[in-house]
Structure 1
Amino acid sequence: MLSYIQKSLELPEKAIANTLKLLEEDATVPFISRYRKEMTGNLDEVQIQAIANKMKEFEALEKRKETICKAIDEQGLLNEDLRQKIKGCMGLVQLEDLYLPYKKKRKTKATVAREKGLEPLAKILMAQRHTDVEIAAHGFLNDAVPNEDEALAGARDIVAEWVNENQKVRNQLRKIYGRQAQMVSKVVAAKKDSPEAQKYQQYFDWEENLSRCPSHRLLAMLRAEKEGYCKLKVQVDEDRALDTIDDIIIKGHNKSTEDQLLLANKDAFKRLLASALANEVLKEAKQKADTKAISVFSENLRQLLLGAPLGTKRILALDPGFKSGCKLVCLDANGGLEHNETIYPHPPQRQSAQAAKKIRSLVNAHKIEAIAIGNGTASRETEQFIKTIGFDRDLEVFVVNEAGASVYSASSLARKEFPNYDVTVRGAISIGRRLADPLAELVKIDPKSIGVGQYQHDVDQTQLKEELDQTVSSCVNAVGINLNTASSHLLTYVSGIGATLAQNIVAYRKENNGFSSRKELLKVPRLGAKAYEQAAGFIRVKGAKNPLDDSAVHPERYDLVNRMAKDLQMPLQDLVANTTAIKRINKQQYLTQEVGLPTLNDILKELEKPGLDPREKAKVFAFDPNLKTIADLKVGMKVPGLVNNITAFGCFVDIGIKESGLIHISKLKAGYVSDVNEVVKLNQTLQVTVLAVDLDRKRIQLSLVD
């Protein structure tokens, strides 16, 4: 396993070996990357996750080898040489090629020919020594084979199968397919004029090299085929492919056998190899496209989850609407619901005076510190209405992206959290909580419902879920969670804690009026020493007797920090956040085999600012008040916007109307851009120029360079 992983990742052998040991001991990726830096050689989370993925890949390969050996052995064909070849395979493609001749097949042309006794004739053709194949074929005539032509045709069927199973042939053709395969897309004539097909118009007559096809374009073509609007085909130059096969199979200049082998080779390619290798190269391209799309989605999700929180503020949240009114909730500093009702400031009711009076009253009664407004229907109108209300103090007004809020509000999790309230109240609560802490609220929603993915329903769903779960876990552990306020769902993503332990933690917290220390976690039913080790560094206990309980310093290093305080002749409480004292610490004095400079630097950094949230603070942003609909846009206008989705080909920007505008990757900055994330981030504020407006298709093109 070690050599397999090292060959793939080119990381130090010792670092891989130690990481594998930790993973086999059920240590989590966040724990290893944060608290075992000396063992891993300071590998980061991405590198450790790559090792974990390769470990799973190797285990799957080994399992497949066992299955194949067993299947061949059951046929009585597994000799030691073949066993060693299988054992030595370092890739699935090579392994499956080895297995191909032994794989049980349904009835084929070759099996029919064998039943007729024609395999010896096929061997004669392959030997290429017989000068007259007609005479050779005559010796195989029987009731099932009435003439020489049928004998030779059957022998060619067997030869075609051998050619198909020839590893050298397949590997040489793979090189051709890898470099030269063309993806050809043609419209299905019967559906060409349907309105639904027009979004795929680009692919009605399209051809490009598959190896250079961008992930988003390949996924778009595959979706077009899946929905029945286009037909796809992967093809290579047939003459070149056949020349390659002929060069491998035909050894001499025996005209008699050469003619038969040329026919067999052509049959092997057209009937067996072409479709198999086309599917193989397309599958590989799809996997790469999936990986790219999932990577984009994962990075978007990471940026969204690590979005700027407002923090522990008392918030009034509004889920806006026209006819149905605006659902309003008042939340305490911990996101608890204090009040809810509906106001009707917009048409058709137009009860703006009553609504303004009610909001002023609630702001004062609940000591509201900020107002959150969902960005859905009637959002701009509600924002303008709120800003006309005269409050007796300054209140920040935020427009919050509500994508997925309706999914959460109808979920079993929302029903469990707020069993006595309907979906509209839950939706408004979610909007308010998103402003206070995007991470804590967004983890409750299936990432695919948040609206930051690219072809998310077209990629491998298992791979997508694994990657997104890893991203959520990474974000939760990077920020840390408040043990006394975190929801059960948020707790499940903490290192070492799953769904059962999360529920047990919440139950214990409720029964005992919260936790007073990290160590108290060990009193939670079924939470043992291993889970505590993995989780403790990522939880925070606000107001704990030991100030380190509200920091990222792991309990296993408390004695070390206490020794530092003792050596400085001061209480631990006086050392925490004391920059002057911390600078006096001689790191060399505390170095051991287990605690090296990486860990010491982390500890000292944390002591300076214990429990520091790595996220920025939320800032108010205002759209152009003159923009209400797409019809208000004019080419050349410069407008403020927020990046609300990033793709491989550009980013989408919310400019305060229903439709988001696209900044193509070529319009992000002057010069070549290889990665959109190099230029923009999710929720980044931009000043964009309107390049084009298509009212019929509701499309807006924007630019950062024009």
Structure 2
Amino acid sequence: MTLTQYITTHTQLPQKGIENTIQLLNEDCTIPFISRYRKERTGNLDEVQIGEIVKFKTQFEALEKRKNAITKALEEQEVLTAELKQKIDSCSDLIALEDLYLPYKKKRKTKAETAIKNGLEPLAKIIMSQRSDAIEHIASKYLNDTVQNEDEALEGARHIIAEWINERTDIRNNIRYQLDNYAIITTKVVSTKKDDEKAQKFRDYFNWSESLKRCPSHRLLAILRAESEGFIRVKIEIDHDRALAKIDDRIIRSNNECADQIELAIKDSYKRLLFPALSNERLKKAKEEADDDAIKVFSKNLKQLLLGAPLGEKRILAIDPGFRTGCKIVCLNAQGELKHNETIYPHAPQNKDKEAIKKISSLADAHKIEAIAIGNGTASRETERLVKRIAFKNTVEVFVVSEAGASIYSASKIARDEFPNYDVTVRGAVSIGRRLADPLAELVKIDAKSIGVGQYQHDVDQTKLKNSLDTVVESCVNTVGVNINTASASLLSYVSGIGSKLAENIVDYRNENGGFGSRTDIKKVPRLGGKAFEQGAAFLRIKQAKNPLDDSAVHPESYSIVRQMAKDVNTPISDLIGNSAVLKEIDLNSYCTENVGLPTLQDIVKELEKPGLDIREKAKMFTFDQNVRSITDLREGQLLPGIVNNITNFGCFVDIGIKESGLIHISNLSDSFVKDVNEHVHLHQQLIVKVLQVDIARKRIQLSLHKKI
């Protein structure tokens, strides 16, 4: 099976598109570049489809690598036959491949290996032939110094037969089928940990049982975490009698003493070899599937968070609220540069609210503040109420901003490099303010796992999670585009074809030369060659450039097409941009060439209509119910404003302005069936929710969706 055939089988995408995409990937092209600027070659495949090609390309390469390793091992053992080689070559699944290799795989010393060394393999073959009734008499012929009697001989022969049974692919696949379709996962609390305070969050699973096939990913991950922390024990069960009967039907063909020995060997093989290995394999498979589900949810949430509404270039006063240690205040200019910082103490125990109000008011006036960003952690609501008491001279919008991951950023090398002369509290407040201005530009500085928009991110496969989240960040950054003259190295590093080293070189060049005047200038960056320019130039924006196309998503390789369009309609490029009436009249077919087709030309015209348009919504203010300050203020039936702050497969969590977030279970999102929570709500969406149930002891709040704001 070729790579193209393998990917086609798994994706059903057009073969030509797959072949060309593979070629582009092998030429070190990135997914954003391929999906946006090579549509003719891929057949207009989008980022998701190209991502699937990348995934299955990686899987195929891993499969081929394992095939080569197994083939080499079999050649060294001198057991590789033409038939076995053909089976290996045609194998398209890692599990099936390992089953083929199992009989030849070097094992730790086994009971079967010992029996073979004791000369009992011929006896095992006689038993498997099922032709004799005098099996004890035959066994007596195989006694020696290590095999003292007939029972020992028969036991050794059964060990050999048990291993043969364990190595049969048909038997293993039959048990796999039963595990896939009928396995039950059961849990039991560890009695000594039952009253452990940390175990209480898992008490729903102290005595749990359900179909493994139907166990939702979030529940399986919770169960496995509880097991790893030592609170419960987990078992996988199937109907063992049925499984044994299936094996009997495949092997036993007689009703004599040989059949009795084989039946004993079957039970031993099943209990000692087959079921432990295959049930662990099935649980591992279920864990991998749960990981994939959790990573998908995390990735969707991260994308929504990164593409959250920016306020834009505004002068912002940011507050990192606190009680005892006070509230750290920073003032940022429209470019996000730190202009002032200090600490106020409006809350207990100091209670200097009047001084705080006076200070915030004077800073807002002095720095011509247009918006205030308040972190949503400790003392957030109290600080928000304080700020809303202030009568500002000019209009000042007030926003509550998520602090998730801010502490990670403030202690990071990136933050230390940005603000070497300030402590973590100042850096954290700056991050809060910059998040309001541009969530994407600020959040890329933080390890995505630390942002906290998913569940069980520390329990899933970390390599898969990192790869998936990096892909999401790369996609978001390149979808929005980056101002090369203001972007941080962290943001630039995610631009197609750039990476961390070139990003640093770009910043160094900018610092030394005062920025870039055109996209052509980008080529002057040390070590930024033609390939990097091809991959990244169209995603890098240059404001107020001499060539207006430098502030658009039109690739430099297509500038000549735009020039020809402008010439044909007798209009300067600057006047063509934004002129929808003229652009709609252009006959795109006349600009088609062997390499440029309608998909690319349509993208060019769409971009010319609104060049450099930010696809994100604009940030808007939100106010919580001022009468609700803690969970004890909630009553069933209340309608409250809230903001979605996390999304899972089973529902979404909503910030209603108190310490505890409420849950809208998937069944309470709509009157009709909900398949995907993300189809109904998105992160930071503003809602009106209804309180269904309040469990103060467990700090749980059940909500339903009343309406979207």
Report TM bin, short chain. Answer: over 0.9
1:384 — aligned with what? 385
Match among 94, 102, 105 for residue 104 of structure 2: 102
Instruction: Report deviation, 1:360.
Output: 2.3
Distance in 2 between residues matched to 1:258 and 1:245, nearest whole Å = 13
Residue 185 of structure 2 aligns to a residue whose secondary structure is strand
Number of the residue aligned with 1:702: 703
Q: Deviations over 1:416-437 (max 9, x none)?
A: 1100000111011000000000
Q: Name whichever of 344-353 and 277-286 sits farther off.
A: 344-353
Residue of structure 2 aligned with 1:142, choices 141, 144, 147: 144
* Secondary structure in structure 2 of the residue aligned to 1:473: helix
Cα deviation code 1:649-692 (max 9, x no counterpart): 11100001111011111111112111111111110111001111
Contact 1:200–1:224, Cα closer than 8 Å, also in 2: yes
3-state SS of paired residue (1:233): strand
Distance of 1:285 and 1:418 partners within structure 2: 45
Q: CA RMSD in A?
A: 1.1
Q: Aligned AA for 2:156?
A: G
Query: Is residue 575 from structure 1 mapped to residue 588 from structure 2 by the alignment?
Result: no
Corresponding residue of 1:202: 204
Q: What is the rounded CA distance, in whole Å, between the counterparts of 1:319 and 1:289 in structure 2?
A: 36
Deviates more, 1:369-378 or 1:157-166: 369-378
Report how many aligned residue pairs link the two structures: 705
* Aligned match of 1:51: 53
Residue 325 in 1 paired to residue 343 in 2? no
Letter in 2 for 1:183: I
Find the counterpart in structure 2 of residue 114 from structure 1.
116
Matches within 5 A, 1:586-597: 586-597=587-598
CA–CA distance in 1 between the matches of 2:489 and 2:421? 19
Match of 2:142, SS state, is coil
1:238 aligns with 240
Deviation for aligned residue 1:405: 0.7
Structure 2 counterpart of 1:627: 628
Alignment correspondent of 1:662? 663
Q: 2:687–2:706: 8 Å Cα contact kept in structure 1?
A: no
Distance 2:675 2:210 in 1: 20
The alpha-carbon deviation at position 67 of structure 1 amounts to: 0.9
Q: Equivalents in 2 of 1:148, 1:369: separation in Å?
A: 93
Q: Deviations over 1:525-582 (max 9, x none)?
A: 1000000000011110011111111010010100000000000111111111111221
- In structure 2, C-alpha distance between the alignment counterparts of 1:357 and 1:144, rounded to whole Å: 95
Deviation at 1:358, TM superposition (A): 2.2
Which residue is 1:639 aligned to?
A: 640
Letter in 2 for 1:611: G
**d(CA) in 2 for partners of 1:679, 1:701:** 18
Equivalent position of 1:270 in the other structure:
271
Alpha-carbon contact 1:131-1:254 (below 8 Å) kept: no
1:286 aligns with 2:287: yes
- For 1:427, the equivalent position in structure 2 comes to 428
Give the secondary-structure state (helix, strand or coil) at the position aligned to 2:388. helix
2:487 aligned partner, one-letter code? A
> How big is the shift at 1:197?
1.6
Contact 1:496–1:535 (Cα < 8 Å) also in 2: yes
CA distance in 2, matches of 1:356, 1:185: 56
Deviation of 1:353 (Å): 2.7
Decide which moves more: 163-172 or 140-149.
Answer: 140-149
* Structure 1 residues 109-158: Cα deviation after superposition (integer angstroms, max 9, x where no partner): 10110111000111111122234212221221112112222111110100
Q: Residue 440 of structure 2 contacts residue 477 of structure 2 at CA under 8 Å; is this kept in 1?
A: yes
Q: How far apart are the structure 2 equivalents of 1:248 and 1:70?
A: 32
Aligned ranges for residues 53-132 of structure 1 at < 5 Å? 53-132=55-134
Give distance in 1, aligned partners of 2:167 and 2:618: 62
Q: What residue is the counterpart of 2:313 in the other structure?
A: 312
2:488 aligns with: 487
- 1:705 is displaced (CA, Å) by 5.5
Kept in 1, the 8 Å contact 2:480–2:615? The answer is: yes
Q: 2:237 is matched by which residue type in structure 1?
A: Q
Structure 1: gaps (5+ residues): none
Distance in structure 2 (CA, Å) of the matches to 1:339 and 1:705? 42
- Cα deviation for residue 254 of structure 1 reads 4.2
How do 1:452-463 and structure 2 match up within 5 A?
452-463=453-464
Distance in 2 of aligned mates of 1:506 and 1:281:
50
Equivalent position amino acid for 2:620 in 1: K
1:651 alignment counterpart = 652
Q: Offset at 1:192?
A: 1.3
Q: CA deviation at 1:469?
A: 0.6
**Distance apart, 1:354 and its partner CA:** 2.5
In structure 2, how many angstroms separate the alpha carbons of the residues matched to 1:305 and 1:281?
36
8 Å contact from structure 1 (residues 30, 474) kept in 2: yes
Which range is displaced more, 190-199 or 421-430?
190-199
Matches within 5 A, 1:246-261: 246-250=248-252, 252-261=253-262
Distance in 2 of aligned mates of 1:648 and 1:156: 48
Quick check: 2:130–2:256 contact (8 Å CA) kept in 1? no
TM-score, length basis structure 1:
0.99
Alignment of 1:15 with 2:17, yes or no, is yes
Does structure 2 conserve the Cα–Cα contact (< 8 Å) formed by 1:669 and 1:705? no
CA–CA distance in 2 between the matches of 1:106 and 1:139?
29
1:26 aligns with 2:31: no
TM-score by length of 2: 0.98
- Partner of 1:340, secondary structure, is strand
- Match of 2:647, SS? strand
